Structure 1
Amino acid sequence: MNRNQEIDSIIEALQQFFPVKNKPYPLHEPLFAGNEWEYLKECLNTNWVSSAGPFVDQFEQHLITYTGIKHAVAVVNGTAALHICLLLAGVEPGDEVLIPSLTFVATANAVRYCGAVPHFVDNERTTLGLDPYKLGDYLKEITEVKVRGCFNKQTGRRIKALLPMHTFGHPVDIEPLEQLSIQYQLALVEDAAESLGSYYKGRHTGSWGMAAAVSFNGNKVITTGGGGAILTNDPKMAQMAKHLTTTAKLPHRWAFEHDQVGYNYRLPNINAALGCAQMEQIEERIEQKRNLANQYSTAFKQIKAVQWFAEPASARSNYWLNVLLLDNSFETRRDEILDALHNHGYLARPAWRLLHSLKPYLHCPRSDLTVAEQLERQIITLPSTPVQGGSHE
């Protein structure tokens, strides 16, 4: 089979799932198949549409029950959740925070909101997340642990936190990262924006760090329109998260007293109502996505140009986005393949552009990023809404 036939084979595989011609198939679409209309009408009928109301509390309880994490604080988006997590972790202006270069830009932006500096480290192929073993060797080389914390010998700055991200919903190998965080006195915060419904060694993502951020953007497994949440097992941290995200206002029947700089980050009740209806469907939604992933796995097995990415052995993934890895001989044709897919209505995407190559982050510290750079050339994400294709219609 020649190289153009391989591209045709990729398109033919997708046609099994998305057969309607001249119809665009987005990367991920929201699904509304439950009580969404009923709950939204209740908000309108009762006038509870803003940042207070019963659905906010219900939504937070849904998250607690589903993830097994003790506390949840609903906020306006996942980036706001990350920002607050880092503040709660003690990240201060001038600190460095270790993050993958292969992640959505919000991970780095949240670090900068704190006045801190992203420090980019490499990914691994088995999880698409941070490589704990390469990171361990790197920290051994460039850091010095003092009474006041871990310091970068090259820049003189404190390295305060470690911020792994569960890429496309696949859990990072977080247990050795947790061990590194203890060894080097780093606050461990999880960017779990994409991984609601994913588990590492039987524990839901977001339960390993001192805090975690989740996103409910319109393209996520469930959506509140825009929205996010802070997850933590620490009651004091949860209390402070709720305080900071409600403008740090002290409780009072009528007075406006604020005891520190806070943020207007609380999720409106009308968005939480949407989230409650979505959470009622989440187990079925995850099962549908895993079924689609299994079918994708079979469909792409015989195509030599690509490898379908399967969940890591230690994990159960939500398969938020299904991923193809191009063979080394095809990675230079990534954009050609994407063009061909788009021409047929399949709105596939590459990975994000590596953050260390973006203008705001060109001068940030970084480790060797060989694997992340190769993954950027090889990743193609596929339409992943479960009810769109094949036997799911």
Structure 2
Amino acid sequence: MFDDLFEFIQRQYPAEAPVALHRPLLGELEKQYLAECIDSTFVSSVGPDIAEFEQGICELTDHRYAIATVNGTAALQLGLTLSGVDAGSEVIIQPFTFVATANAIRYCGANPVFVDIESRNLGICPQKLRQWLLDNVEVQQGVCVNKTSNRRVVACLCMHTFGHPSRMDELLAVCQEFGVLLLEDGAEALGSRYRGEHVGHHGDWMAISFNGNKIITTGGGGALLSNDESWAQRAKHLGSTAKTPHPWETSHDQLGFNFRLPNINAALGRAQLQRFQAILADKRQLARQYQQCLQGSGLEFVLEPDACESNYWLNAVLCRDQKQRDHLLQLGGEQQLQLRPAWTLLHRLPMYRDCLRGDLATAEAMAMRLVNLPSSARAGVLDA
């Protein structure tokens, strides 16, 4: 039933067994930059590679400021802390996301609230967000308060799922109507564009990830993106243990985080940034080829939303039902292909079962049907 799909995947990655879901593409340039960093002895939290990497991210995403962090989860936690998320607050997210989105909220002592997604882009649905707010909150002296929990609803943290941009104009309008911050979890969305603009310009800030399975990698790593100078300065200060500048004294003016990206990781990232456009072009070409391969297969390829350009970080198909999904996963495994279902929906995890939530019918349906396909950039990119 899936022979044509399996043969197509194996042709794209002939040297791999098993074929990975998403692996990094590393070559001689990465080795060169890492060797230079080692020779410099600046391998920890200071060094020239960090500043150059941050500047490269700014140029790629059209942001004024980038603050590199040890991972994407740390970037989320740092951004949420600076946005006033604390033990007396709630943040609205979708249940169809990686667990780090919710974990970062809990690390702040706050509570996630789950609102449903839309099937077109697998991101939080603006209409369902607005309906949940209408049904559950009241605005008291400019503060959005949950009538059930009596906690402040500080923000909506939208997720650009698999690199597909959410409907940012509509989400921003809803958030502004209720006095809620709009924040962006772009862990998977480096290079994705919404109406011609790189994602990350609608929310107060956006977090991205450079984990080993992302479109480019620093090994571990992440970043916060912002266009606000004062905010970026505070983020850098708080993420650097809140250390106060002084020629010799070591002092700190508040409780900070040790979240800075090591220079050796930034060196790897600098090399990866030089490959980024070639990687992005190859991944978009792979998505087009998947779409052609799947025509008439009975599987629905997940396309980029209208007026958007996705980085197609992970390609995905929708099966007819869960039975077909499980059959595809089983047969793919037998062919040594790393196919994966969507994440376990967050409200089904033991630590989040008691969280407030709206009707999640679309998320439930998508989770039962979706399968991610191998999506690594292909080896020829190293020669580009």
Length-normalised TM-score, structure 2: 0.96
Q: Report the counterpart of residue 371 of structure 1 in structure 2.
A: 362
Alignment of 1:42 with 2:36, yes or no, is yes
Any conservation in 1 of the 2:240–2:256 contact (CA below 8 Å)? yes
In the TM superposition, residue 262 of structure 1 has moved relative to its aligned partner by 0.3
Which structure 2 residues correspond to residues 109-258 of structure 1 after superposition, within 5 A?
Answer: 109-258=103-252
Q: Report the counterpart of residue 17 of structure 1 in structure 2.
A: 12
In the TM superposition, residue 17 of structure 1 has moved relative to its aligned partner by 3.0
Q: Report the counterpart of residue 304 of structure 2 in structure 1.
A: 311
Q: Report the counterpart of residue 78 of structure 1 in structure 2.
A: 72
Alignment of 1:336 with 2:327, yes or no, is yes
Aligned length: 383
For residue 283 of structure 1, the aligned residue among 265, 269, 277 is: 277
Question: SS of the residue aligned with 1:52?
Answer: coil
Length-normalised TM-score, structure 1: 0.94
In the TM superposition, residue 13 of structure 1 has moved relative to its aligned partner by 4.2
Q: Which runs of 5+ in 2 are unaligned?
A: none
Distance 1:236 1:363 in 2: 37
Distance 2:158 2:368 in 1: 21
Question: SS of the residue aligned with 2:93?
Answer: strand
Taking only aligned residues, the RMSD between alpha carbons, in angstroms, comes to 1.7
After superposition, the C-alpha distances for 1:249-284 in whole angstroms (9 at most, x for unaligned) are 000122111111000000000000000010111111
Distance 1:244 1:96 in 2: 22
Question: What residue identity is the alignment partner of 1:384?
Answer: S
Alignment of 1:348 with 2:348, yes or no, is no
Any conservation in 2 of the 1:289–1:318 contact (CA below 8 Å)? yes
Question: What residue identity is the alignment partner of 2:264?
Answer: I
Distance 1:19 1:326 in 2: 26
Distance 2:109 2:128 in 1: 27
Residues 217, 87 of structure 1: alpha-carbon distance in 2 compared, 3 angstrom cutoff: same
Q: Report the counterpart of residue 320 of structure 1 in structure 2.
A: 313
In the TM superposition, residue 35 of structure 1 has moved relative to its aligned partner by 2.1
Distance 1:80 1:321 in 2: 22
In the TM superposition, residue 101 of structure 1 has moved relative to its aligned partner by 0.2
In the TM superposition, residue 223 of structure 1 has moved relative to its aligned partner by 0.2
Question: SS of the residue aligned with 1:74?
Answer: strand
In the TM superposition, residue 155 of structure 1 has moved relative to its aligned partner by 1.8
In the TM superposition, residue 181 of structure 1 has moved relative to its aligned partner by 1.3
Any conservation in 2 of the 1:34–1:281 contact (CA below 8 Å)? no
Distance 1:58 1:248 in 2: 22
Distance 1:35 1:120 in 2: 43
Question: What residue identity is the alignment partner of 2:307?
Answer: S
Distance 1:239 1:315 in 2: 31
In the TM superposition, residue 16 of structure 1 has moved relative to its aligned partner by 4.3
Q: Report the counterpart of residue 3 of structure 1 in structure 2.
A: none
Question: What residue identity is the alignment partner of 1:241?
Answer: A
